Structure 1
């Protein structure tokens, strides 16, 4: 549990860095990793960082993703495949409504989450810039692999694919981000970098379960207590 909690602190961009950083002669920042190799802190190509492409091919959720879990904050939700994913309880993410653990391979760590926040984000690009700024300021190493607009289940989302290293561990993240009238909702999933390629298909199935739907209705529990019996009067 401690290991998973630490990883989700990374997931929430609130982890502490522990690597040695330095500057090259031309002013670029590098980091010394645990295996004694050097990397540039940010290896993102400038064009990749500044441009957001548009993918015109519509994406539909997997037919095996049949179980709908609705957000309690915004009009969005996620369809998951209950044979491939299970929900787990996590308390370290204030924006996370549901956290998922992969059932594909018990020996492989793959975690995901549906997160939402009632924040006044104006555009998906604004959301991306806030997100990437937070990650870059905290990660020892960061690389944005891709960001593009997509149409997923009839809604416009921003797909983001990035890699990072912290405390000597390499991770790979992908996610879909969606703006609603009340804020935003996103589904993100990550694994160790070495496990990403072989599990990429199922990870995509998870994030492509994001849909627009009415938010979950929170029912107030009212306990009914019968009235107390009448008090007996004492006979004189």
Structure 2
């Protein structure tokens, strides 16, 4: 699929432009020069892949985020507003490392988020970013990294990534935090269609700003969110 897009793009742009344009395998637009070299059309594309800026703002959870969801694998958690987000624990097999899903209440599942963890030793955030982006690029037909920065959220240093992908003709946009410790990493990522992303970005940011340090879950700590069983029929 990627090779087909690249070939078609090159053929079209040879006709339309004196300089040939093409797409790299990760979806970046480049100009092919006559001397056999190339350069990014948008210089920020190159910088976003290579650099991680630092946001000096101190981010904190919302005062409405009152319930703590704990990872079962890693010492990390997420404070959520239970009146705004619905928790899902029946995880599809395709979400291999997901522990919980969240859907925005009364939104027909158009906006969702995933809390995932992986017990995999990664030495630093730059290496984590490279691993994450490589996996994303391999699973998408088109990919563009829009933001990449370090943030301090509830006292934790995290990596913030915002990116857009196209897969099977559908456009999605994502924003998420990645928290790294000695055990592995925790990701809190929100997403929706690219068309609706800006509209729901404040909701997504409010949710992921609930990422926090917490002892991993022991036993069933979500019982207050499990619907009570139906009454037993009278004998």
**What's 1:13 paired with?**
none
SS in 2 for 1:41: coil
> Which blocks of at least 5 consecutive residues in structure 1 are unaligned?
1-16, 32-39, 220-236
**What's 1:41 paired with?**
27
Spell out the pairing of 1:160-199 with structure 2 (5 A cutoff). Answer: 160-199=161-200
Once the two structures are superposed, residues 157-189 of structure 1 have per-residue CA deviations (whole angstroms, 9 ceiling, x without a partner) of 000000011111110000000012211111001
**What's 1:95 paired with?**
97
Whole-angstrom CA distance in 1 between matches of 2:141 and 2:208 = 26
Whether the aligned pair in 1 keeps the contact of 2:91 and 2:99 (CA below 8 Å) is: no
Higher relative contact order (CA 8 A, sep 6+): 1
Once the two structures are superposed, residues 130-173 of structure 1 have per-residue CA deviations (whole angstroms, 9 ceiling, x without a partner) of 11111112211111000000000000000000001111111000
**What's 1:114 paired with?**
115
Q: Quote how far apart the aligned CAs of 1:91 are.
A: 2.5
Q: Indicate the RMSD between aligned Cα atoms, in angstroms.
A: 2.2
Spell out the pairing of 1:131-210 with structure 2 (5 A cutoff). Answer: 131-210=132-211
**What's 2:56 paired with?**
56
- Closer, same or farther: CA 30–151 of 1 in aligned 2, 3 Å: closer
- Closer, same or farther: CA 159–22 of 1 in aligned 2, 3 Å: same
- Closer, same or farther: CA 18–52 of 1 in aligned 2, 3 Å: closer
Whole-angstrom CA distance in 2 between matches of 1:132 and 1:161 = 11
* TM-score after normalising by structure 1: 0.76
Q: Quote how far apart the aligned CAs of 1:22 are.
A: 2.7
> Which blocks of at least 5 consecutive residues in structure 2 are unaligned?
15-19, 30-43, 221-235
Whether the aligned pair in 1 keeps the contact of 2:68 and 2:80 (CA below 8 Å) is: yes
Whole-angstrom CA distance in 1 between matches of 2:47 and 2:23 = 19
Whole-angstrom CA distance in 2 between matches of 1:29 and 1:19 = 9
**What's 1:29 paired with?**
23
Whole-angstrom CA distance in 2 between matches of 1:68 and 1:195 = 28
Q: Name the count of aligned residue pairs.
A: 194
Q: Quote how far apart the aligned CAs of 1:42 are.
A: 2.5
- Closer, same or farther: CA 207–19 of 1 in aligned 2, 3 Å: farther
Whole-angstrom CA distance in 2 between matches of 1:50 and 1:136 = 15
Whole-angstrom CA distance in 2 between matches of 1:55 and 1:104 = 33
